[in-house]
Amino acid sequence: MEMPDPEPGPGEVVVDVVAAEVNYPDLLVIEGRYQVRPPLPFSPGKAAAGRIAALGPGVRHLSLGQAVAVQVEYGAYAEKLRAPASACFPMPEGMPFDEAAALGLAYQTAWFALKERAGFRPGEIVLVLGASGGVGSASVQLAKALGAKSVLAGVRGEANAELARRAGADHIIDLAEANLRDALPQRVRALTEGHGADIVIDPVGGEANAAALRALAWCGRLVIVGFAAGEIPTIRANYLLVKNIAVFGLQWSDYRDRAPEHVAQVQQELFRLHAAGRVRPFITRRLPLADFQEALRALRDGHVQGKMILTVRQR
Protein backbone atom coordinates (compact mmCIF):
# COMPACT_ATOMS: atom_id res chain seq x y z
CA MET A 1 0.00 0.00 0.00
CA GLU A 2 1.30 3.45 -0.92
CA MET A 3 1.10 6.02 1.87
CA PRO A 4 2.32 9.63 2.13
CA ASP A 5 5.76 10.05 3.65
CA PRO A 6 5.41 10.44 7.44
CA GLU A 7 6.30 13.72 9.13
CA PRO A 8 7.89 13.70 12.61
CA GLY A 9 6.07 15.37 15.47
CA PRO A 10 7.63 16.73 18.65
CA GLY A 11 10.11 14.25 20.08
CA GLU A 12 9.87 12.04 16.98
CA VAL A 13 12.06 11.15 14.01
CA VAL A 14 11.57 9.58 10.61
CA VAL A 15 13.93 6.74 9.71
CA ASP A 16 14.79 5.49 6.22
CA VAL A 17 14.53 1.78 6.96
CA VAL A 18 17.31 -0.44 5.65
CA ALA A 19 16.32 -3.71 7.37
CA ALA A 20 13.32 -4.87 9.40
CA GLU A 21 13.15 -7.83 11.76
CA VAL A 22 10.37 -10.42 11.40
CA ASN A 23 9.03 -11.65 14.75
CA TYR A 24 6.29 -14.00 15.91
CA PRO A 25 4.33 -11.17 17.61
CA ASP A 26 3.93 -9.58 14.15
CA LEU A 27 1.59 -12.45 13.29
CA LEU A 28 -0.42 -11.91 16.46
CA VAL A 29 -0.80 -8.19 15.69
CA ILE A 30 -2.06 -8.92 12.18
CA GLU A 31 -4.52 -11.50 13.50
CA GLY A 32 -5.82 -9.12 16.18
CA ARG A 33 -4.62 -11.42 18.97
CA TYR A 34 -1.93 -9.13 20.41
CA GLN A 35 -2.22 -6.88 23.47
CA VAL A 36 -2.16 -3.76 21.28
CA ARG A 37 -4.39 -3.45 18.20
CA PRO A 38 -3.15 -0.72 15.84
CA PRO A 39 -5.64 1.48 14.02
CA LEU A 40 -6.23 0.47 10.41
CA PRO A 41 -4.47 0.68 8.05
CA PHE A 42 -1.08 -0.14 9.55
CA SER A 43 2.24 -1.80 8.76
CA PRO A 44 3.38 -4.58 11.10
CA GLY A 45 6.91 -4.86 12.42
CA LYS A 46 8.43 -4.07 15.82
CA ALA A 47 12.14 -3.70 15.04
CA ALA A 48 14.20 -2.12 12.28
CA ALA A 49 17.48 -0.40 11.51
CA GLY A 50 18.15 2.50 9.18
CA ARG A 51 19.23 6.12 8.95
CA ILE A 52 17.61 9.23 10.39
CA ALA A 53 15.83 11.07 7.56
CA ALA A 54 14.01 13.81 9.51
CA LEU A 55 14.03 15.22 13.04
CA GLY A 56 10.99 16.52 14.88
CA PRO A 57 11.00 19.52 17.23
CA GLY A 58 12.97 18.96 20.42
CA VAL A 59 15.12 16.08 19.19
CA ARG A 60 18.75 16.95 19.92
CA HIS A 61 20.56 13.71 20.70
CA LEU A 62 20.19 12.32 17.17
CA SER A 63 21.34 13.72 13.82
CA LEU A 64 20.36 13.46 10.18
CA GLY A 65 21.93 10.48 8.47
CA GLN A 66 22.78 8.77 11.75
CA ALA A 67 22.51 4.96 11.75
CA VAL A 68 20.07 3.73 14.38
CA ALA A 69 18.28 0.61 15.53
CA VAL A 70 14.58 1.23 16.18
CA GLN A 71 12.08 -0.61 18.37
CA VAL A 72 8.41 0.30 18.03
CA GLU A 73 4.96 -1.13 18.65
CA TYR A 74 4.27 -1.50 14.90
CA GLY A 75 5.21 0.04 11.56
CA ALA A 76 8.69 -1.36 10.84
CA TYR A 77 7.70 -3.08 7.57
CA ALA A 78 8.01 0.16 5.63
CA GLU A 79 10.40 2.28 3.63
CA LYS A 80 10.02 5.14 6.09
CA LEU A 81 9.22 4.76 9.77
CA ARG A 82 8.06 7.47 12.16
CA ALA A 83 9.19 6.65 15.69
CA PRO A 84 9.75 8.26 19.08
CA ALA A 85 13.33 9.48 19.33
CA SER A 86 13.57 7.56 22.63
CA ALA A 87 13.04 4.32 20.68
CA CYS A 88 16.05 4.93 18.41
CA PHE A 89 19.46 3.63 19.47
CA PRO A 90 22.67 4.81 17.78
CA MET A 91 24.48 1.90 16.11
CA PRO A 92 28.20 1.28 16.48
CA GLU A 93 30.32 2.36 13.54
CA GLY A 94 30.37 -0.28 10.81
CA MET A 95 27.69 -2.51 12.30
CA PRO A 96 25.58 -4.22 9.58
CA PHE A 97 22.00 -2.95 9.49
CA ASP A 98 20.52 -6.45 9.32
CA GLU A 99 22.35 -7.50 12.48
CA ALA A 100 21.34 -4.29 14.26
CA ALA A 101 17.70 -5.00 13.43
CA ALA A 102 18.07 -8.62 14.58
CA LEU A 103 19.55 -7.46 17.92
CA GLY A 104 16.25 -5.75 18.68
CA LEU A 105 13.10 -7.32 20.08
CA ALA A 106 14.38 -10.89 20.55
CA TYR A 107 17.59 -9.94 22.35
CA GLN A 108 15.93 -7.25 24.45
CA THR A 109 13.29 -9.80 25.45
CA ALA A 110 15.93 -12.38 26.31
CA TRP A 111 17.92 -9.85 28.38
CA PHE A 112 14.94 -8.67 30.40
CA ALA A 113 13.73 -12.24 30.90
CA LEU A 114 17.11 -13.35 32.26
CA LYS A 115 18.29 -10.27 34.12
CA GLU A 116 15.19 -8.32 35.18
CA ARG A 117 12.59 -11.00 35.74
CA ALA A 118 14.62 -14.09 36.63
CA GLY A 119 17.44 -12.22 38.40
CA PHE A 120 20.11 -14.28 36.66
CA ARG A 121 23.38 -14.77 38.52
CA PRO A 122 26.62 -16.10 37.00
CA GLY A 123 27.07 -19.81 37.67
CA GLU A 124 23.38 -20.70 37.39
CA ILE A 125 21.87 -23.39 35.18
CA VAL A 126 19.45 -22.16 32.52
CA LEU A 127 16.93 -24.18 30.52
CA VAL A 128 15.65 -22.48 27.35
CA LEU A 129 12.55 -23.86 25.63
CA GLY A 130 12.17 -23.28 21.91
CA ALA A 131 15.92 -22.66 21.83
CA SER A 132 16.17 -22.48 18.02
CA GLY A 133 13.70 -19.60 17.68
CA GLY A 134 14.44 -15.89 17.87
CA VAL A 135 14.01 -15.35 21.62
CA GLY A 136 15.24 -18.87 22.35
CA SER A 137 18.55 -18.62 20.52
CA ALA A 138 19.08 -15.11 21.93
CA SER A 139 18.48 -16.47 25.44
CA VAL A 140 21.01 -19.26 24.92
CA GLN A 141 23.65 -16.82 23.67
CA LEU A 142 23.06 -14.28 26.42
CA ALA A 143 23.02 -16.88 29.21
CA LYS A 144 26.41 -18.14 28.00
CA ALA A 145 27.78 -14.61 27.55
CA LEU A 146 26.65 -13.61 31.05
CA GLY A 147 28.31 -16.57 32.74
CA ALA A 148 25.82 -19.43 33.07
CA LYS A 149 27.29 -22.65 34.42
CA SER A 150 25.31 -24.66 31.89
CA VAL A 151 22.66 -23.91 29.27
CA LEU A 152 20.15 -26.62 28.34
CA ALA A 153 18.27 -26.18 25.06
CA GLY A 154 14.81 -27.61 24.52
CA VAL A 155 14.12 -28.11 20.79
CA ARG A 156 12.36 -30.35 18.29
CA GLY A 157 14.40 -32.01 15.53
CA GLU A 158 18.09 -32.26 14.70
CA ALA A 159 18.18 -29.10 12.56
CA ASN A 160 16.92 -27.07 15.51
CA ALA A 161 19.33 -28.87 17.81
CA GLU A 162 22.25 -27.89 15.59
CA LEU A 163 21.26 -24.22 15.68
CA ALA A 164 21.01 -24.36 19.48
CA ARG A 165 24.50 -25.85 19.61
CA ARG A 166 25.79 -23.04 17.42
CA ALA A 167 24.24 -20.58 19.86
CA GLY A 168 26.30 -22.16 22.63
CA ALA A 169 23.97 -24.67 24.27
CA ASP A 170 25.79 -27.22 26.42
CA HIS A 171 23.08 -29.90 26.20
CA ILE A 172 20.08 -30.62 23.98
CA ILE A 173 16.71 -31.85 25.25
CA ASP A 174 14.18 -33.25 22.76
CA LEU A 175 10.79 -31.60 23.30
CA ALA A 176 9.19 -34.15 20.96
CA GLU A 177 9.92 -37.00 23.34
CA ALA A 178 6.98 -39.11 24.50
CA ASN A 179 5.60 -38.39 27.98
CA LEU A 180 7.38 -35.03 28.10
CA ARG A 181 5.87 -34.26 31.52
CA ASP A 182 8.18 -36.86 33.07
CA ALA A 183 10.88 -37.14 30.42
CA LEU A 184 11.98 -33.48 30.50
CA PRO A 185 12.53 -33.16 34.28
CA GLN A 186 14.28 -36.55 34.33
CA ARG A 187 16.62 -35.42 31.55
CA VAL A 188 17.31 -32.09 33.28
CA ARG A 189 18.13 -33.80 36.57
CA ALA A 190 20.43 -36.26 34.79
CA LEU A 191 22.31 -33.41 33.07
CA THR A 192 22.65 -31.33 36.25
CA GLU A 193 23.64 -34.02 38.77
CA GLY A 194 20.18 -33.86 40.32
CA HIS A 195 20.19 -30.08 40.81
CA GLY A 196 17.61 -29.04 38.21
CA ALA A 197 17.35 -25.76 36.32
CA ASP A 198 17.73 -22.52 38.27
CA ILE A 199 16.01 -20.59 35.48
CA VAL A 200 13.64 -21.58 32.67
CA ILE A 201 12.98 -19.21 29.77
CA ASP A 202 9.70 -20.21 28.08
CA PRO A 203 8.59 -18.66 24.78
CA VAL A 204 6.67 -21.86 23.93
CA GLY A 205 3.93 -22.67 26.44
CA GLY A 206 1.91 -25.85 25.99
CA GLU A 207 2.97 -29.15 27.55
CA ALA A 208 6.63 -28.09 27.66
CA ASN A 209 5.74 -25.43 30.23
CA ALA A 210 4.29 -27.90 32.72
CA ALA A 211 7.23 -30.24 32.22
CA ALA A 212 9.77 -27.44 32.71
CA LEU A 213 8.04 -26.29 35.88
CA ARG A 214 8.76 -29.73 37.34
CA ALA A 215 12.40 -29.47 36.21
CA LEU A 216 13.16 -26.38 38.31
CA ALA A 217 15.64 -26.47 41.16
CA TRP A 218 14.81 -25.28 44.67
CA CYS A 219 14.07 -21.53 44.50
CA GLY A 220 14.06 -21.77 40.71
CA ARG A 221 12.41 -19.16 38.47
CA LEU A 222 10.39 -19.68 35.29
CA VAL A 223 9.81 -16.72 32.96
CA ILE A 224 6.90 -16.91 30.52
CA VAL A 225 7.68 -14.96 27.36
CA GLY A 226 5.06 -16.25 24.93
CA PHE A 227 2.99 -19.16 23.67
CA ALA A 228 4.46 -20.17 20.31
CA ALA A 229 3.03 -23.68 20.72
CA GLY A 230 -0.44 -22.12 20.63
CA GLU A 231 -1.59 -23.35 24.04
CA ILE A 232 -1.63 -21.10 27.09
CA PRO A 233 -0.67 -23.31 30.05
CA THR A 234 -2.31 -23.46 33.46
CA ILE A 235 0.20 -23.20 36.31
CA ARG A 236 -0.06 -25.79 39.09
CA ALA A 237 0.35 -23.61 42.18
CA ASN A 238 1.24 -26.55 44.42
CA TYR A 239 4.57 -26.91 42.58
CA LEU A 240 5.40 -23.33 43.55
CA LEU A 241 4.98 -24.15 47.22
CA VAL A 242 6.84 -27.45 47.27
CA LYS A 243 10.15 -26.04 46.02
CA ASN A 244 9.74 -22.30 46.71
CA ILE A 245 9.79 -21.58 42.99
CA ALA A 246 8.47 -18.51 41.19
CA VAL A 247 6.79 -17.93 37.85
CA PHE A 248 7.13 -14.54 36.14
CA GLY A 249 5.60 -13.02 33.05
CA LEU A 250 7.41 -10.69 30.68
CA GLN A 251 5.90 -8.14 28.34
CA TRP A 252 9.01 -6.34 27.17
CA SER A 253 7.15 -3.44 25.53
CA ASP A 254 6.15 -2.23 29.01
CA TYR A 255 9.84 -1.60 29.73
CA ARG A 256 10.22 0.19 26.39
CA ASP A 257 7.34 2.53 27.25
CA ARG A 258 7.89 2.92 31.01
CA ALA A 259 11.69 2.83 31.28
CA PRO A 260 13.13 3.94 27.91
CA GLU A 261 16.45 5.02 29.46
CA HIS A 262 17.01 1.55 30.86
CA VAL A 263 16.10 -0.06 27.54
CA ALA A 264 18.62 2.22 25.81
CA GLN A 265 21.32 1.13 28.27
CA VAL A 266 20.53 -2.52 27.62
CA GLN A 267 20.70 -1.96 23.86
CA GLN A 268 24.15 -0.45 24.16
CA GLU A 269 25.24 -3.42 26.27
CA LEU A 270 23.92 -5.76 23.56
CA PHE A 271 25.91 -3.81 20.98
CA ARG A 272 29.03 -4.17 23.15
CA LEU A 273 28.53 -7.92 23.48
CA HIS A 274 28.09 -8.10 19.71
CA ALA A 275 31.28 -6.12 19.09
CA ALA A 276 33.13 -8.48 21.43
CA GLY A 277 31.87 -11.50 19.47
CA ARG A 278 29.92 -12.87 22.41
CA VAL A 279 26.47 -12.62 20.81
CA ARG A 280 25.59 -12.72 17.13
CA PRO A 281 22.11 -13.19 15.68
CA PHE A 282 21.69 -16.16 13.37
CA ILE A 283 20.10 -14.57 10.32
CA THR A 284 19.05 -17.58 8.34
CA ARG A 285 16.87 -15.88 5.74
CA ARG A 286 16.69 -12.48 4.07
CA LEU A 287 13.77 -11.42 1.87
CA PRO A 288 12.87 -8.16 0.15
CA LEU A 289 10.19 -6.07 1.83
CA ALA A 290 7.72 -6.90 -0.96
CA ASP A 291 7.86 -10.56 0.10
CA PHE A 292 6.77 -9.91 3.69
CA GLN A 293 3.77 -12.23 3.28
CA GLU A 294 6.09 -15.11 2.39
CA ALA A 295 8.15 -14.31 5.47
CA LEU A 296 5.10 -14.35 7.74
CA ARG A 297 3.82 -17.61 6.23
CA ALA A 298 7.17 -19.26 6.88
CA LEU A 299 7.04 -18.02 10.47
CA ARG A 300 3.45 -19.20 10.94
CA ASP A 301 4.24 -22.66 9.56
CA GLY A 302 7.32 -23.11 11.74
CA HIS A 303 9.79 -23.07 8.86
CA VAL A 304 12.13 -20.45 10.34
CA GLN A 305 15.22 -21.04 12.44
CA GLY A 306 17.01 -18.12 14.04
CA LYS A 307 16.13 -14.72 12.62
CA MET A 308 14.50 -13.59 9.37
CA ILE A 309 15.12 -10.11 7.97
CA LEU A 310 13.27 -7.99 5.41
CA THR A 311 15.66 -5.96 3.27
CA VAL A 312 14.18 -2.57 2.44
CA ARG A 313 17.07 -0.68 0.82
CA GLN A 314 20.83 -0.86 0.47
CA ARG A 315 22.30 1.09 3.38
Q: pLDDT tens across 62-99, in order?
A: 999 999 999 999 999 999 999 999 999 999 999 999 99
Question: Looking at the structure, do residues 229 and 151 belong to the same domain, yes or no?
Answer: yes
Q: Please report the pLDDT score of residue 40 as a whole number.
A: 83
Q: Please report the pLDDT score of residue 1 as a whole number.
A: 63
Question: Looking at the structure, do residues 86 and 112 belong to the same domain, yes or no?
Answer: no
End of a domain among 232, 252, 272? Answer: 252
Question: Looking at the structure, do residues 120 and 248 belong to the same domain, yes or no?
Answer: yes
65 vs 57: CA distance, rounded Å: 17
**Higher per-residue confidence, 191 vs 305:** 191
End of a domain among 234, 252, 270? Answer: 252
Residue 303 pLDDT exceeds 90: no
Please give the backbone phi and psi of residue 284, each rounded to the nearest 5 degrees, phi first: -100, -10
DSSP structural state of residue 183: H
Question: Looking at the structure, do residues 88 and 156 belong to the same domain, yes or no?
Answer: no
Q: Please report the pLDDT score of residue 287 as a whole number.
A: 94
Counting the structural domains of the chain, the total is: 2
Question: Looking at the structure, do residues 305 and 197 belong to the same domain, yes or no?
Answer: no
The mean pLDDT of 37-65, rounded to a whole number, is: 94
273 assigned to some structural domain: no
Express as a percent the part of the chain with pLDDT over 70: 100
Burial (CB count within 10 angstroms: exposed 0-12, middle 13-18, buried 19+), residue 160: buried
Question: Looking at the structure, do residues 133 and 214 belong to the same domain, yes or no?
Answer: yes
Question: Looking at the structure, do residues 236 and 288 belong to the same domain, yes or no?
Answer: no
The mean pLDDT of 147-162, rounded to a whole number, is: 95
Residue 306 pLDDT exceeds 90: no
Query: Helical H runs in 58-133?
Result: 97-102, 105-111
Range of the structural domain that residue 54 is part of = 12-103+281-311
43 assigned to some structural domain: yes
Question: Looking at the structure, do residues 121 and 210 belong to the same domain, yes or no?
Answer: yes
Q: Please report the pLDDT score of residue 33 as a whole number.
A: 79
Are 204 and 229 contacting, i.e. CB atoms less than 8 angstroms apart? yes
243 vs 50: CA distance, rounded Å: 47
Give the CATH number of the domain where residue 43 resides: 3.90.180.10
Q: Say how far residue 205 (Cα) sits from the centre of its chain.
A: 15
Question: Looking at the structure, do residues 137 and 226 belong to the same domain, yes or no?
Answer: yes
Nearest to 224 by CA among 206, 201, 199: 201
41 assigned to some structural domain: yes
Q: What is the mean pLDDT of the chain?
A: 93
Residue 37 pLDDT exceeds 90: no
261 assigned to some structural domain: no
Q: What is the pLDDT of residues 164-214, one digit of tens each?
A: 999 999 999 999 999 999 999 999 999 999 999 999 999 999 999 999 999
Q: Please report the pLDDT score of residue 304 as a whole number.
A: 77
The mean pLDDT of 96-115, rounded to a whole number, is: 95
First to last CA, the chain: 23
Side-chain-facing half-sphere of 11: CA atoms under 13 Å: 3
DSSP structural state of residue 149: S
The mean pLDDT of 280-306, rounded to a whole number, is: 88
Listed in sequence order, the residues at least 6 apart from 82 whose beta carbon sits closer than 8 Å to its beta carbon are 6, 7, 8, 9, 12, 13, 14, 15, 75
Question: Looking at the structure, do residues 97 and 161 belong to the same domain, yes or no?
Answer: no
Question: Looking at the structure, do residues 138 and 219 belong to the same domain, yes or no?
Answer: yes
Question: Looking at the structure, do residues 74 and 131 belong to the same domain, yes or no?
Answer: no
257 assigned to some structural domain: no
End of a domain among 252, 268, 297? Answer: 252
Q: Roughly what angle, to the nearest 10 degrees, separates helices 180-191 and 206-214?
A: 40
The Cβ of residue 34 has, within 10 Å, a number of other Cβ atoms equal to 18
113 assigned to some structural domain: yes
- Residue 300 vs residues 25, 170, 179, 240, 297: alpha-carbon distances, Å: 10, 28, 26, 33, 5
Q: Please report the pLDDT score of residue 95 as a whole number.
A: 96
269 assigned to some structural domain: no
